[in-house]
Amino acid sequence: MTLQGKNICANKNNDRGRLLVKCPDKPGIVATLSKFLYEHNSNIIESSQYSSDPEGGTFFIRIEFHCDNLQDKREELERDFKRLASAFFMEYRFTYGNNRKRTAIYVSKEIHCLMELLWEWQSGDLDTDIAVVISNHENARNIVESLGIPFYYIPANKNIRHEVEEKQIQLMQKYNVDLLILARYMQILTPNFVSKFPNRIINIHHSFLPAFIGARPYERAYDRGVKLIGATSHYVTNDLDEGPIIEQDIERVDHRDHINDLKKIGQQVERRVLARAVKWHLEDRIIVQNNKTIVFR
């Protein structure tokens, strides 16, 4: 992309905003939001909505909009919206196109998910700044550093878990990280660590949750004679592999596929499932509701 092209894209993003809303459902919400944006000289580009139950349920909406000179108007926009939000008991957040989220990728020995994320990032399909990669193995160092991304090797095991996580937290602060991606990082995180990044840690689990929670899922799947291999991407909570699910996918297998075949097929699913989940988070397409997600694809 030429410098002129980059400047055009940057200017375009400067005037783009997103609004995510969750509130009790009632008539008039969409009309009120549309009127508010119209009165603030904003044009709606994309709008997706969902109601859990039109009678007494919860209403969710994601709106992407364009507004000339948005960066000069955002303070006024958010101030005026507070009054509207109060009247409808809204939980909401504004995000802006010029504020690219900064991500950290955690990885262990297997680097196929990391490679997929790096490829998506290089091709421009992952709208983020990859600030740092952290690993308890050295396997990925050369690849990561060749792209100009800082790489930190931090050995980890259950005996030094708290010390390791303290270093990791310091790095998250140093690099001002918004999102943590566990790209097959094979370590259990402590409640202290998870609590510092609520709904900001995305994991890929190499099975179709809730089946085969924990270790050795492919071996257990093979022993069970499954006909479908899947992968699940979810937000991390203190309940192992039970956080809000963002995305899942599957591939069909049969009796001719042995454990190594299942793992190879599974890795292909893992890569695309994690990449999609990360992309949707970066584009503010996810609203967490209890232990579930609303995903506006």
- Mind listing the pLDDT tens digit for each residue in 71-114? 999 999 999 999 999 999 999 999 999 999 999 999 999 999 99
Neighbours of 48 (CB within 10 A): 14
Token pair 């919860």: residue = 58
The segment(s) of the chain belonging to CATH 3.40.50.170 are 102-295
Classify residue 98 as exposed, middle or buried by CB count within 10 Å of its CB (0-12, 13-18, 19+). Answer: middle
pTM: 0.92
pLDDT at 11: 55
- State both tokens at 23: 């509130």
The segment(s) of the chain belonging to CATH 3.30.70.260 are 3-96
Catalytic site residues? 241
Q: In terms of DSSP H, where are the helices of 101-157?
A: 112-122, 141-146
- Cα separation, 152 vs 133, in Å, equals 6
What single DSSP character describes residue 139?
Answer: T
CA-CA-CA-CA dihedral for 73, 197, 125, 116, to nearest 10? 170
- Whether pLDDT at 186 is above 80: yes
Closest listed residue to residue 136, CA positions, set 116, 110, 102: 110
Query: Could you tell me if residue 22 is left (phi over 0), alpha (psi between -120 and 50 degrees) or otherwise beta?
Result: beta
Q: Under CATH, to which class is 3-96 assigned?
A: alpha beta
- Beta strands, E only, 11-75: 16-24, 43-51, 58-66
Q: Under CATH, to which class is 102-295 assigned?
A: alpha beta
- Whether pLDDT at 1 is above 60: no
- Cα separation, 296 vs 254, in Å, equals 33
CB of 156 closer than 8 Å to CB of 187:
yes
- Cα separation, 43 vs 202, in Å, equals 32
Q: Please name the amino acid found at residue 196.
A: K
pLDDT at 251: 93
Provide CB contacts within 8 A for 260, sequence distance 6+.
none
- Residue 8's pLDDT band, with cuts at 50, 70 and 90, is very low
Q: Please name the amino acid found at residue 12.
A: K
pLDDT at 206: 81
- Mind listing the pLDDT tens digit for each residue in 225-278? 989 888 999 999 998 788 999 999 999 999 999 999 989 999 999 999 999 999
- Whether pLDDT at 65 is above 90: yes
Q: What is the mean pLDDT of residues 182-205?
A: 96
